[in-house]
Amino acid sequence: MRRLVRCALAAVLVVGFARAQQMATQDRTGEPKKPAASPAAAKLTALIEANVRAEWEAFKNKDKKTYSDLLADDFVAIEDDGDGMRKKTAVVNEVDHSVVVRYYLNALRVTPLEPNAAFVSYELTMEFPLKAQARFKRVLICELWRKQDGVWKAHYYQETRVK
C-alpha cells in the first residue's frame, strides 16, 4: 500500500512540475513565449534587413548599380501586376521608371534555411507622388536570399498586393 501511495505521490509531483514548466514558458496571455533568438540569428536578421532596406533605397533613388549588386545573376521576380516572371535585367531596368517617394517596411522576418540560405518575408507600403493616380501600394513580399562567395544576394522575389 505504501508503495502505491509513493507512486501516486511521485506521479502528482511529476505532473505538477511539468505544469509549472509549461506555465513558465507562457506569457500573460497564455501564449507560449518565443525562444530568444540566438546571436547568430539576430546577426543574420540585421544583415538581411540592412540589405532589404538598401534594395529599396536604391530602387527609390534610381541607383541601378547598387540595386543590381544586391541581386544574384540568376535573380527572378514575380510582381503583382500579372506580367509574369522577370529576370534580373528586366527588374533592374524598372528602376529607371520608379516613382516611389517613400517606403515603409514592416514585420520583417528572416528564417534561416541552412547556413547559406534564408527565407525573408515582410510587408511594404510604397508612397507615390501627390499627383499619382494611386498614392499608396501595400504588398506582402517573400524573398529568398543566398550567400555566395561570402556575400548575401537576393535570388527570388514575389509580392502580393494587400487591399
Q: What is the pLDDT of residues 113-134, one digit of tens each?
A: 999 999 999 999 989 888 877 7
Q: What is the pLDDT of residues 58-105, one digit of tens each?
A: 999 999 999 999 999 999 999 888 788 999 999 999 888 888 889 999
- Please give the mean pLDDT across all residues of the chain: 81
> How many Cα atoms occupy the beta-carbon half-sphere of 44 within 13 Å?
23
Q: Is the pLDDT of residue 106 over 50?
A: yes
Distance CA 67, CA 74 (A): 14
| CA quadruple 101, 127, 67, 155: dihedral, nearest 10 | 180
Report pLDDT for 36: 56
Distance CA 55, CA 75 (A): 13
Report pLDDT for 11: 36
Distance CA 144, CA 78 (A): 12
Report pLDDT for 132: 76
Q: Is the pLDDT of residue 40 over 90?
A: no
State what percent of residues in the chain have pLDDT above 70.
Answer: 77
Distance CA 122, CA 53 (A): 11
Q: Measure the N-to-C terminal CA separation of the chain; round to a whole number of Å.
A: 68
State what percent of residues in the chain have pLDDT above 90.
Answer: 56
CA distances in angstroms from 67 to 1, 12, 60, 106, 125, listed in the order given? 77, 61, 10, 20, 19
Report pLDDT for 158: 94
